[in-house]
A and B are shown apart, each in its own frame.
Chain A
Amino acid sequence: MRSNENTEETLKNFVRQIYDSIQRGEIPEIRLKSRTKENIVLDSLLGVWKYGDQEVLRSAKKMDGAQFMAKTLYTIQFILEMLGESKSSTLREMYYISEGWKDYKFTAQDESNLLVEDMEVITELLREDFHLRPEENGASIIGNITIEEKNRKNEFKRINCRDDVGDAGYTIPYNVESEKLRLISHDADMIVALETGGMFDRLVENKFDEDFRAVLVHLKGQPARSTRRLLKRMNEEMNLPVYIFTDGDPWSFRIYASIAYGAIKTAHISHWLAVPTAEFVGITASDILTYDLPTDKLSDKDVAALNAELQDPRFNTEFWKSEIETMLKINQKAEQQALAKYGLNFVTETYLPEKLNLRS
């Protein structure tokens, strides 16, 4: 996080560029990195995927570009006000505040989220620097790991994520940086991140965390930034290997990719979020065949998503190519809970130990 002064100066510099070009009689324009899968490249040093050199030009010459520029200016004005009053708001609140911007209001929350991400890309700041936060809760953790979280009284409170929490686990806050959350200690060998609540509860009930010295993280579908950031911090600062256990379908593959390689939408902060060493232990097409799992047919959207992944540079490995092609060939997908076909203990007694042993 940057200081408020730094953020203010960066934003004003950006505005100054627009102002100056109008004064010079030049059509104002904004250049930013193209945020598409065609423009992500592997940062071989960090092992994560980041934006390449392709840029898009948002020019006031066209209505889209001019609207974007005007909305960005409104947003910047709002952020500067918040900085001045030491307030913060959720992305959703900002979306509603934009109602007052009349012709320049956001038509959907997606639009405001994208614009904030664009501003991150342009200014190389983070949305936290803008005092903007997501409204969704972070995911939850159960496992023998001890942290300290600053509470509303501004005191750090120590929490053991196995002994001091209920069955739902410790809830990850939206800010997981060290000024808010400190990693104290652990007694675990690995982190297992789970896509679904059902599997999280199964592993908790089967005491997988204790039996296999694992920290369990419930991702709640596509993980929020804070969840990914905390996974990275636990991975780097505590040296815990990360395993991702998901359903066997194209969308689950993307969950893994966003954790391990970085998401296309947020590739500007991949170095800050991605865990390049994370391993996939979710259901694969091979597992469907090996374990003869109960399946569903691929929908048209599934097929399209798999085909898109074949074009996605992040999936350009032998492993993913063969798994994706096999899935397309058998035309089937399976949920992680399909493993219950062989009983409630199969996943903890057989499937995961096999997968983890095979790979570790």
Chain B
Amino acid sequence: MPGRAKKEEYKQVSVSEFFEKNRHILGFDSAQKSLFMIVKEAVDNSLDACEERAILPEIKVRVDKVKDDIFRITVEDNGPGIERTVVPRVFGQLLYGSRFHVLRQTRGQQGLGITASILYGQSTSGEPCIITTKRREDEVAFHFVMGIDVRSNKADLKVEEPIIWDRESGTSITITAKGRYVTGKQSIMEYLKEVAVVNPNARIQFTDPEGKTVIFERSINEPAKPSKPTKPHPYGIELGELLSLSQFTEASDIVKMLATEFSRVSENSATEIVQKAGVDPGMNPKELTKEQAESIMKAIGETKLMPPTGESLSPISEQFIRLGMLAVYGEERPSFFGRPVSGKVRIYKGNPFSVEVGMVYGGDLPADQPVKIVRYANKVPLLFQPGSCAITQAISDIDWRQLGFDQKQGKGVPYGPAIILVHVHGPRLPYISESKEAIAPIDEIMDEIRNVIRIEVRQLRKFNSRAERNKKIGEKFNLVSVVVPEIAKKASEILSREIPDCTMVITRIANVIFVREDIINENGKKISRSSVVNYTMDKISMNLKIVFPFGEKDMEIRDLEPSKSYIFDQELSGIIGGYSGAEYYFTGINPVYVQGAEELPADWNLKGVETVEE
């Protein structure tokens, strides 16, 4: 290679210097995107830090206009804080971070983003960044004013001093940078809104340059489950990674290295690989040549290994998606909140990944607009390059017309009153570019996205037919509970007689158990009243499961007398967002006698993430 021969002639370029000249690679490619990128990098770091320590995140984002096109961005969190001595390295050095070489699903993945943001700010505004951080175990916080020396790829520390900060722990970072503040689909506001959807346990506050503050309140007090770091699976390894791993490893020989540094490789299969590759099993890994590494790669491909586990995956979870969508999209009063669906663990090039889908439908959502697709990769909202993304493309491939959506020739993004949330997660997702703005449309991933969306959408179809049926049931209930008594009352009025007892007539007409929900106001409180009315001639017993958009309730009904009601009240006043109604499921009674509820599906609680069996 000509480059290699003349290497000495080139000036050594530091990583910082390289990124300053090529900042588009990290997404700082336009004035309106740069402010967004800074917020995104800082917020992603905050959420990751909180998740690792099981802290309920509280994040405040503030964008102030300094002058003209210079803005000051402050992101403050209640995370664990950073030890004083590592601050210069964490923020001031590209490629520093604990995540390199560990296979684990996190938001930020390479430790590049926040330093690139500081670098971008410094080179466009001339201002250093300001960092304040405090750990729970420290008495005081530490305040830093810091730039980056691009030549040496190191922090250029201007101020470091202890200060009093009246909180237990947290980190605040302020970056001043050139940019353009925008609103709309690809804005800071939209980003934080989408962050709020998948982090219902976070309280997120945003103050825009005009001083307007929006708060996404926390709707669940439960920390997210952190992902577990796992070793890489050999099927997903690249040649360069294998070579660099052979330098890092503490294993004494190549067989031990394969068996200890990778998941799903036993000593036996390691020996098999090494033998197939024609490499000496006792060889010191540090002496591994490129040619030998290539042979090992080939041998790995020919060796049958257990597939990767899903342990390293960190789903948003069904409950979080449900609560988040309810809290954030509830204002648009959808008539249907789908039960979020999590797909199984799938493998792409030896790397595990999984897909989660949530959906809201109908209500006040616009029917004449394209459906809103909310994309996430590893819990990070994707706002850019929708057309190139596997999620958008997979949705466009589905024929939505049978579901009552408009779609030209059964291709493309459908039109209809729906918001579809798709989360693809896994430790090594393929992106279309370094700035990670869209998931690469790889067949395995697209197939799984389509697969999970179809499962989700099946519920919508059921919901639509259920809505039809509920209308009929509501009519019948109205008939026996309102109209027939009215006939009796009117007839008695005209004849000046006692109102006759209609119980027998009602039982003759209905002969069912009605399960229904009424939304009532009692003492200024909004209440969902579930009634089970026995219009049969016998005492009945049954088990009822009420599924609210925010959770489930199980109850046992025993010996309910004919023409008597069982009532369950659920207060709705504390519920954030609009309320779309409860669903009812039952067991323990002949289905022909029940109207307004469905038999509990047999696989009801087996729908979560399934890990591949060992």
Chain A residues in the interface with B (C-beta under 8 A): 12, 15-16, 18-19, 21-23, 25-28, 60-63, 66-67, 69-70, 73-74, 76-77, 80, 103-104
Contact = CB atoms under 8 A, between A and B. Distances in A.
Given A23-B501, A60-B509, 13 more contacts: A15-B491, A26-B508, A27-B508, A27-B509, A28-B487, A60-B487, A63-B479, A66-B479, A70-B487, A73-B487, A73-B490, A103-B483, A103-B486
A15 B505 contact: no
A136 B284 CA distance: 109
A74 B490 CA distance: 7
Contacts of A22: 487-488, 491, 500, 502, 505
Contacts of B502: 22
A18 B494 CA distance: 11
A63 B476 CA distance: 7
B505 A63 contact: no
B498 to A, nearest CB: 9
Contacts of B482: 103
B510 to A, nearest CB: 10
6 contacts: A22-B491, A22-B502, A23-B500, A25-B508, A60-B479, A70-B487
Contacts of B486: 70, 103-104
A28 B483 contact: no
B478 to A, nearest CB: 7
B484 interface: yes
Contacts of B476: 63
Given A22-B500, A22-B505, A26-B505, A66 B495 contact: no
A69 B487 contact: yes
Contact of B475 (A60, A63, A77): A63
Contacts of B490: 70, 73-74, 77
Contacts of A62: 479
A216 B492 CA distance: 51
Contact of A63 (B483, B491, B501): B483
Given A63-B476, A63-B479, A66-B483, A19 B509 contact: no
Interface string B456-484: 00000000000000000001101100111
A326 to B, nearest CB: 48
B118 to A, nearest CB: 68
B484 A60 contact: yes
B443 to A, nearest CB: 53
A70 B483 contact: yes
B504 to A, nearest CB: 3
Contact of A18 (B475, B483, B487, B509): B487
A60 B476 CA distance: 11
A327 B311 CA distance: 82
A74 B486 CA distance: 10
Given A66-B483, A70-B483, A19 B497 contact: yes
B483 A25 contact: no
A59 to B, nearest CB: 9
A21 B501 CA distance: 11
A309 to B, nearest CB: 37
Contacts of A63: 475-476, 478-479, 483
Interface string B261-278: 000000000000000000
B487 A66 contact: yes
Nearest to A61: B509
Interface of B: 475-476, 478-479, 482-484, 486-488, 490-495, 497, 500-502, 504-505, 508-509
B543 to A, nearest CB: 31
B487 A25 contact: no
Contact of A15 (B484, B494, B504): B494
B330 to A, nearest CB: 31
Contacts of B484: 60, 66
Contacts of B495: 12, 15-16, 19
Nearest to A21: B505
B505 A27 contact: yes
B544 to A, nearest CB: 26
A64 to B, nearest CB: 10
Given A27-B505, A63-B476, A66-B479, A77 B487 contact: no
7 closest A-B pairs by beta carbon, nearest first, are A25-B504, A73-B490, A19-B491, A23-B500, A66-B483, A22-B500, A15-B494
Nearest to A24: B504
Contacts of A60: 479, 483-484, 487, 505, 509
B591 to A, nearest CB: 22
Contacts of B479: 60, 62-63, 66
A12 B497 CA distance: 12
B484 to A, nearest CB: 6
A19 B483 contact: no
Contacts of B505: 21-22, 25-28, 60
A23 B501 CA distance: 7
A306 to B, nearest CB: 39
Contacts of B491: 15, 18-19, 22, 73
Given A22-B500, A22-B502, A27-B505, A73 B494 contact: yes
A239 to B, nearest CB: 45
A22 B493 CA distance: 14
Contacts of A77: 490, 493-494
B512 to A, nearest CB: 13
Given A60-B505, A63-B479, A103-B482, A12 B494 contact: yes
Nearest to B509: A61
A90 B198 CA distance: 64
A63 B480 CA distance: 9
Contacts of B488: 19, 22
B407 to A, nearest CB: 34
Nearest to B472: A63
A266 B486 CA distance: 30
Contacts of A74: 490
B323 to A, nearest CB: 38
Nearest to B503: A25
Nearest to B483: A66
Point out which of A23, A62, A63, A77 has the most chain B C-beta atoms below 10 A from its C-beta: A23
A15 B487 CA distance: 10
